[in-house]
Every structure is written in structure tokens, then in C-alpha cells.
């Protein structure tokens, strides 16, 4: 049985099928078809469920890690790239109901869309099958895909990398602000500025979190090339 079939099996009874249909309904599809629902509410719920389960997981997995490092590792595990990777593992994009305009520009393959979709499916699973089922599934897939969270921090969370460097070298943290926001309400584009001492860098993305990550990655890479000790 595939990972996706496992989820469908868990949601086969009660209101599970309706929850799963809601989870697979992108806002653009709901607007085009005049639906009164989309997957954004389930996304909100799934985000909280994932963070709760991973907080407990990391607390037990890393008993010597301080609160700050646990927070950074959790952020790496729930960042857009990590959740999109899990969505691809479950082949969730193939089930997504998406508007024609979004489909034409490859919206079902976009990292932010896939990450949001994974959160929505977990929200549906939580409501339809319960917390224990969610916990079992998430711990299985996170342990298989990301067995060493601290190493993942360096790979997937450039904000964490930049903050560690900044605190180590200068005992301060970088600051972020939205420099510009463009595009329609349903598909905004963010440009974020990060400032650290005398350095400034910019990043863009479909949401603020992604833009902040890209800004941090750009500045970290610049500092590394400039000879600042980054390891």
C-alpha cells in the first residue's frame, strides 16, 4: 500500500472523504467553481498539529539540546522545502484540485502549494482519524526522510544558519522586514530584506517565510565568500 493509499484508508469512513476532498481543494479551484470551501482552514490546523508532534519528537530525540536549538531544528523540519518534499513522497500534487490559471503555470508543482497541501492533508487526517494516527504517520515519514534534524538545519534552514553565525561572531541576531509585496491577493509575491551589521540582502518568494529564507541564504553565502568564518 502506498503512502497516499494509507491516508485514504484512514479517512475512508465517517466524514473522512469530505475532509480529504476539502484538503485537496486549492483556493483557485474554489473561486473558479464557486465553492464555499478550500483547504486553507485545514492547512492552518495541520500546521499546528505538525508542530506539536515534532516538538515532542525533538524534545525526546535530543535531550541535550537547548530550547533555541530545538526551535531551529523544528523550523527546519516544517519549512516549505521539507514539507514539499513530503508532499511529493505522498504524491499529493496529483490529487490537488486547482484552478485552470494556476494549473497552466504549474501551480500544483510549486513548493509553497505542495507544503500547504501537506499541512491541509494532515489537518484532515487529524479531524478524521485522530491525533494518534497523525503522530504515528508523521514520526514514520519524518524519521525516514530526515533522520538527523541537526544536519537538516544547515541544509533547509538558512535563517538558522545565519542566526547561529551572527550570535557566535557578533552576539546579535539579523533583522527581517517585508521590503515589497506585489501581485494579486491570492498569489502575492514578497520581497524581504535582511540586515546584519553593515550587510543587507534580499530574497523573494510566494510567502514571507520563503522570502526570508532566500534572503538569509543570500547573505550567508555572501559572508562565506567574504571570508567570514561560517563553520
Give the whole-angstrom CA distance, residue 104 versus residue 178: 28
The model's pTM? 0.71
Q: Alpha helices, DSSP H only, in the chain? A: 3-10, 16-23, 27-33, 40-61, 67-77, 80-89, 100-104, 111-129, 131-145, 149-156, 158-170, 208-225
Burial profile 123-157: b = 16 or more Cβ within 10 angstroms, e = fewer = bbbbbbbeeebbbebbeebbeeebeebeebbeebb
Nearest to 2 by CA among 89, 66, 64, 76: 89
**pLDDT tens digits in sequence order for the chain, 231 residues long:** 678 888 999 998 889 999 999 999 999 999 999 999 999 999 999 999 999 999 999 999 999 888 988 988 898 899 888 999 999 999 999 999 999 988 888 878 888 899 999 999 999 999 999 999 999 999 999 999 998 887 776 666 788 889 888 988 999 999 999 999 988 887 789 999 999 999 999 999 888 988 998 899 899 989 988 888 655
Which pLDDT does position 229 carry in this prediction? 64
**pLDDT value, residue 210:** 85
Structural domains for the chain: 3-156 (1.10.1520.10), 159-225 (3.30.160.20)
Q: From the CB of residue 94, how many other CB atoms can be counted at a distance below 10 Å?
A: 10
pLDDT at residue 47, as a whole number? 96
Give the model's pLDDT for residue 158.
Answer: 83
Instruction: List residues with catalytic annotation.
Output: 47, 119
pLDDT at residue 3, rounded to an integer: 80
Alpha-carbon gap, residue 38 to 64, rounded angstroms: 41
Amino acid at each position: 500500500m502506498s503512502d497516499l493509499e494509507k491516508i485514504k484508508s484512514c479517512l475512508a469512513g465517517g466524514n473522512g472523504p469530505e475532509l480529504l476532498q476539502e484538503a485537496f481543494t486549492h483556493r483557485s479551484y474554489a473561486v473558479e467553481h464557486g465553492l464555499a470551501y478550500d483547504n486553507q482552514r485545514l492547512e492552518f490546523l495541520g500546521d499546528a498539529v505538525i508542530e506539536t508532534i515534532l516538538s515532542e519528537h525533538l524534545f525526546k530525540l535530543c535531550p541535550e539540546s537547548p530550547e533555541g536549538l530545538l526551535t531551529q531544528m523544528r523550523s527546519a523540519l516544517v519549512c516549505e522545502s521539507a514539507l514539499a518534499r513530503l508532499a511529493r513522497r505522498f504524491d499529493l500534487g496529483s490529487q490537488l484540485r486547482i484552478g485552470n490559471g494556476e494549473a497552466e503555470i504549474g501551480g500544483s508543482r510549486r513548493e509553497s502549494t505542495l507544503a500547504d497541501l501537506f499541512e491541509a492533508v494532515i489537518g484532515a487526517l487529524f479531524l478524521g482519524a485522530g491525533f494518534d494516527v497523525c503522530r504515528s504517520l508523521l514520526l514514520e515519514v519524518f524519521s525516514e526522510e530526515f533522520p538527523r534534524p541537526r544536519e537538516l538545519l544547515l541544509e533547509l534552514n538558512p535563517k538558522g544558519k545565519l542566526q547561529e553565525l551572527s550570535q557566535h561572531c557578533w552576539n546579535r541576531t539579523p533583522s527581517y522586514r517585508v521590503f515589497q509585496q506585489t501581485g494579486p491577493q491570492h498569489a502575492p509575491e514578497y520581497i524581504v530584506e535582511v540586515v546584519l551589521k553593515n550587510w543587507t540582502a534580499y530574497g523573494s518568494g510566494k510567502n514571507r517565510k520563503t522570502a526570508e529564507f532566500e534572503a538569509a541564504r543570500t547573505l550567508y553565502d555572501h559572508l562565506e565568500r567574504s571570508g567570514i568564518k561560517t563553520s
